[in-house]
Amino acid sequence: MSTSPAVGFPAAPIHDIARQRTKVVSEDETVRSLARSLVRRVTELSDGDTALRRPLLDLTEQGVRCLLVPVTPEAHDLLSPREHEVARMVGRGYTNKQIAGVLEISLNTVSAHMRRIFTKLGVGSRAAMVAALTKENLAAV
C-alpha cells in the first residue's frame, strides 16, 4: 500500500473517493426525484374527497417502492401528554383555576394549554372539546 509522502498516511485510491462522491450524488438525485414526483402528484389532486382515498405518491425508484398515503390523525395523536391531562380534568368538571392548583401551574399556563387544545381539535368551547375527546374515549367523564 502506498503512503502519502507528505504525512505518511495510506493514500486513499482516487477511484474510491470518486465512487463515494457518485453514490452521494445519486442518493441526492433520488431524493430530488421523489420530491418532484410528490409535488407533481399533489398538484394533480383536484378534489379533496377522492384525494383522501387515493395515494398521493406510488412509484418505484431504484428498486424501492415509495407509497405516500394521506392519513387523518386521531385526536389523541394531536395532544401532548400535558394537554391530555388538562383535557381529562376539564372532562371531569374542573375549572381552569382548579386545574392550575392540582397541576401546580399558573392559570395562564392552563389557558395556554386550553387554547392549544381548542386549536388542535378544531373546537371553540369546553363542551365541544369534551365531546370530541369522549368520542375517542380519551376524556373520562
DSSP 7-52: T-PBPPPHHHHHHHHHHHHHHHHHHHHHHHHHHHHHHH---HHHHT
Distance of alpha carbon 36 from alpha carbon 44, whole angstroms = 12
The model's pLDDT over 17-59, given as tens digits with 9 standing for 90+, comes to 555 555 556 777 888 887 777 777 666 664 455 545 677 778 7
Q: Is the pTM of this model over 0.75?
A: no
In the block, cell 399558573 appears at 106
Say yes or no: domain 75-134 is CATH 2.60.40.10. Answer: no
Residue 22: phi and psi, rounded to 5, are -65, -40
Q: What is the pLDDT of residue 114?
A: 96
% of the chain residues with pLDDT over 70 = 67
